[in-house]
């Protein structure tokens, strides 16, 4: 039973490129997500009415598939969190960000059975299924680049967001004070000012709320210029983070290509001590530093949650060492 459970975990979670079952699973999940997205869009057209019964059947087939996958992920959660007890591991997965996305991808289809009055609102949650594309193993390593950049730059991003929020609140209260007497039906309260400040600072400019007094217009010009600069700050932070991350990946790739630097490649076999372990669980030999991980032809900067899987590919310059 444990071998079967471990095999299921490898298929739905690890995503080894050489595993036919795992690749088939990724393709099936990706197809189901795309089909659901197409159905959600097609439902907005009147031409979909004659095909509604067929669309409903297709959607329910994919929903049942998502449900089975979620149950299997909960069942095999002990392998995702090997340092936790089975019950704790399952709870940890259920309340994790990925677990919540997985749950919301199918739960709204079952809720109208118990709460018919909210059927229309529940259908809105179908769009959450598109987020599952980031859970597909084939794209997970690419997504790691994004999450790693956000993790590295989180303090700077939070600082810039805090400044933007404070500026929104301050400017909304100022504009409310300047414009409330001139147009009380437009700037009714502070929330009306917040709506104006958000659309102005983020350079959206809907035009439904705007100042008419001289002081209000002058203040609006100042806020518009500040908005251009404020929005550019988090954008610049993320852009710099991506440049740094890809530069780091390129350097690691270049190092791996430079034989005179005494870099060695280690290939993980099925019986290797590192097989199916996370980076954070490794006990590296003295003097050995893990620089990067090669997977499916891509070079990954190591992080603690990367799982090693054995390779069936032959590498001429790979070496065998005792670890």
Pairwise pLDDT comparison (311 vs 105), residue with the higher score = 105
Q: pLDDT class for 261, splitting at 50, 70, 90?
A: very low
Average pLDDT over residues 146-155: 83
Q: What angle do CA 294, 265, 259 make, to 5 degrees?
A: 115
Mean pLDDT of 261-274: 64
Lowest mean pLDDT among 45-49, 106-110, 112-116, 176-180: 112-116
- From residue 60, give the alpha-carbon distance in Å to each of 107, 128, 179, 284: 12, 16, 52, 48
**Token duo for residue 281:** 């669980």
Query: Of 303, 19, 5, whose CA–CA distance to 148 is shortest?
Result: 303
pLDDT given for residue 322 in this prediction: 41
Residue 91 clears pLDDT 90, i.e. is over it: yes
pLDDT at 127 exceeding the cut of 80: no
Between CA 14 and CA 26 the distance in angstroms is 11
The whole-number average pLDDT for the span 82-104 is 87
- Tell me which of 146 and 211 has the higher pLDDT: 211
List residues bridging with 307 in a β-sheet: 278
* pLDDT value at 323 more than 50: no
In the chain, domain spans:
2-135, 154-246, 264-319
Look at residue 298 in the predicted model and tell me its pLDDT. Answer: 56
pLDDT at 67: 92
Note the pLDDT of residue 259: 47
Percent of the chain with pLDDT over 70: 67
Residue 320's pLDDT band, with cuts at 50, 70 and 90, is very low
How much is the average pLDDT of 24-36? Answer: 85
For residue 135, pLDDT over 70 is answered with: no
Instruction: Give the separation between CA 323 and CA 321, rounded to whole angstroms.
Output: 6
State the chain's mean pLDDT as an integer. Answer: 77
**Domain boundaries 2-135, corresponding CATH code:** 1.20.120
Indicate if the alpha-carbon torsion angle 7, 8, 11, 14 is positive or negative: negative
**Has residue 260 got a pLDDT over 50?**
no
Higher pLDDT, 69 or 119: 69
227 has a pLDDT exceeding 60: yes
Which residues partner with 293 through β-bridges? 300
Inter-CA distances, 285 with 117, 267, 321, Å: 62, 16, 10
More confident residue, 270 or 160: 160
Asked if residue 15 lies in contact with residue 137, where contact means CB atoms within 8 angstroms, the answer is: yes
**DSSP of 88-104, one letter per residue?**
HHHHHHHTSHHHHHHHH
Class level of CATH domain 154-246: mainly alpha
Q: List own/partner pairs for 74-80 with CB under 8 A and 24 or more apart.
A: 74/99, 75/5, 75/8, 76/5, 76/6, 76/8, 76/9, 76/12, 76/13, 79/5, 79/6, 79/9, 79/13, 80/9, 80/13
Q: Which of 84-88, 148-152, 269-273, 286-290 has the highest mean pLDDT?
A: 84-88
pLDDT of residue 321: 40
CATH of the domain spanning 264-319? 3.30.70.1450
Q: Are 81 and 10 in contact (CB under 8 A)?
A: no
**What torsion do the CA atoms of 125, 127, 131, 132 make, to the nearest 10 degrees?**
80
In the block, which residue shows the tokens 């991808």?
105
Residue 211 β-bridge partners: none
| pLDDT for 68 | 92
Comparing CA positions, the residue from 93, 135, 1, 21 lying closest to residue 10 is 21
Q: Are 237 and 156 in contact (CB under 8 A)?
A: yes
**Spatial distance between the Cα atoms of 64 and 14, rounded to a whole number of angstroms:** 22
List pLDDT tens digits, range 156-189.
899 988 988 898 899 999 999 998 888 888 888 8
CA angle 303/308/313 to nearest 5° reads 125
pLDDT at res. 121: 65
pLDDT of residue 54: 92
Average pLDDT of the segment spanning 10-26: 76
Nearest to 25, CA basis, from 37, 3, 10: 10
Determine the average pLDDT of the residues in 249-261.
57
Q: Could you tell me which residue, 2 or 296, shows the higher pLDDT?
A: 2
pTM score, whole prediction: 0.58
């Amino acid at each position: 039973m444990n071998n079967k459970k471990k095999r299921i975990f490898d298929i739905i979670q690890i995503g080894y490129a050489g595993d036919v079952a795992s690749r088939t699973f990724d393709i099936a999940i990706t197809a189901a997500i795309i089909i659901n997205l197409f159905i959600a869009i097609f439902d907005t057209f009147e031409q979909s009415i004659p095909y509604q019964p067929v669309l409903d059947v297709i959607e329910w087939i994919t929903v049942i598939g998502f449900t089975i996958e979620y149950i299997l992920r909960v069942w095999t959660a002990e392998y995702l969190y090997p340092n936790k007890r089975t019950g704790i591991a399952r709870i940890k997965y259920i309340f994790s960000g990925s677990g919540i996305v997985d749950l919301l991808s199918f739960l709204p289809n079952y809720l109208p059975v118990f709460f018919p009055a909210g059927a229309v609102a529940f259908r809105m949650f179908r769009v959450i299924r598109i987020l599952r594309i980031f859970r597909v193993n084939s794209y997970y390593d690419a997504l790691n680049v994004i999450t790693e950049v956000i993790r590295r730059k989180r303090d700077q991003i939070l600082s810039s967001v805090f400044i933007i929020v404070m500026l929104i609140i301050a400017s909304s209260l100022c504009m409310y004070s300047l414009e409330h007497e001139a147009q009380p039906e437009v700037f009714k309260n502070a929330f009306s000012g917040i709506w104006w400040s958000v659309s102005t600072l983020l350079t959206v400019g809907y035009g439904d709320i705007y100042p008419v007094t001289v002081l209000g217009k002058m203040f609006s010009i100042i806020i518009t210029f500040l908005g251009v600069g404020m929005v550019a700050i988090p954008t610049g932070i993320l852009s710099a983070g991506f440049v740094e991350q890809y530069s780091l990946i390129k350097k690691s790739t270049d190092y791996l290509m430079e034989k005179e630097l005494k870099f060695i490649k280690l290939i993980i076999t099925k019986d290797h001590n590192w097989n199916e372990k996370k980076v954070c669980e490794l006990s590296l030999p003295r003097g050995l530093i893990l620089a990067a991980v090669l997977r499916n032809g891509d070079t990954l900067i190591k992080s603690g949650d990367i799982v090693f899987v054995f390779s069936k590919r032959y590498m001429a310059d790979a070496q065998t060492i005792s670890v």
